[in-house]
Amino acid sequence: MSDFEFKDLEKRRPLWKDIGYFLGFTLFIYGIVHVGLNSSAYSEIAGFKYGQLKASVLEISEDVLTAAKPEVVVEEKLEKVEKKEAPKTFRQKNLKPRNQAAQVFKDMKIYPSDNRLYIPRINKNVPLITVPQHQNWNQLEKNIQSGLQEGVVVHPISHAPGNFGNFFLTGHSSYYAWDDGRFKDVFALLHEVKVGDSVEVYWEGKKYVYKIKAEEVVSPTAVEVLNQPKDKFLITLMTCTPVGTNKNRLILTGELKSQE
């Protein structure tokens, strides 16, 4: 029987490495599940970023081509073209009644028949949904969650556009993949909206344009974002952040710029 030699034993891995491997694997699995459950929102974000990158590359390429293109001087030849006057008929474009009618249709402002929110920066044009107020907080939350399936919800505390106060809107940045609503990621790109951008509200046949003045991230308990000032025309856009969680709230605040 040979003597036992300790050098033949494998050295045990340190405990901290085992913990590190376990945490890394757990985070990996969590990441896959998280992205999978919020795939719709993340695909929209990826598409937006790709569009920005593509536009940037095309712009750089166009600038390079313009700089490399030699300047060509072209001699312009003036040619006299005789214009024959068309006979004056009722179909002639320069007849006054026809011109007046065309101008009327050209200047006519046609707004959506329903209440809507349009955000040019992220190309979102979505319906605004009103929900009933309720003294019971749980029932109010149910009303809001139900309304979010149909679009962006106008919080019951809101003051209508054109009136002093805060027109408060809330929408999902992401929601359960199996949810029936079509607007579960309507505000997934809200963090791309910048201070200085404009947002448009179509409300009861009128158009209101707001300019974003501030952006902040607050906790879900920051109820002061619902305050109603008596001397300002404000709009507030709210969604959950980071995308796929309800840890905090992204708040964008704007002031009324014009009304039509």
* Residues in contact with 180: Cβ distance below 8 Å, sequence separation at least 6, in sequence order: 149
| The token pair that represents 92 in the structure block | 């002639």
Q: What span, in angstroms and rounded, lies between the C-alpha atoms of 36 and 256?
A: 39
Amino acid at residue number 53: L
Residue 111 lies in a domain: yes
CATH number at residue 131: 2.40.260.10
Q: Which residue has the tokens 């990996």?
A: 28
Residue 202 lies in a domain: yes
Q: What span, in angstroms and rounded, lies between the C-alpha atoms of 208 and 167?
A: 11
pLDDT for residue 38: 73
pLDDT for residue 1: 52
Tell me: pLDDT of 105 over 70: no
Residue 207 lies in a domain: yes
pLDDT for residue 210: 98
- Report, as an integer, the average pLDDT of 182-203: 95
Amino acid at residue number 35: V
pTM above 0.85, yes or no: no
In 92-139, beta strands by DSSP E: 116-119, 124-130
Tell me: pLDDT of 173 over 60: yes
- Report, as an integer, the average pLDDT of 165-189: 91
Q: Which residue range forms the structural domain that includes residue 247? A: 107-259
Tell me: pLDDT of 176 over 50: yes
How many domains, in total, are found in the chain? 1
Distance of CA 196 to the CA centre of its chain: 14
258: nearest Cα among 213, 185, 214, 198 = 198
Residue 29, phi then psi, degrees to nearest 5: -65, -40
Residue 135 lies in a domain: yes
pLDDT single digits (tens) 28-85 = 776 676 666 677 787 788 888 888 888 888 777 676 666 666 655 545 554 454 555 5
Residue 181 lies in a domain: yes
| The token pair that represents 75 in the structure block | 């001699």
Q: Which residue has the tokens 């006979």?
A: 87
Tell me: pLDDT of 107 over 80: no
pLDDT single digits (tens) 138-163 = 899 999 999 999 999 999 999 999 89
Residue 21 lies in a domain: no
pLDDT for residue 137: 83
Distance of CA 122 to the CA centre of its chain: 4
Tell me: pLDDT of 199 over 70: yes
Residue 77 lies in a domain: no
pLDDT single digits (tens) 231-245 = 999 999 999 999 988
Q: What span, in angstroms and rounded, lies between the C-alpha atoms of 207 and 216?
A: 26
Residue 114 lies in a domain: yes
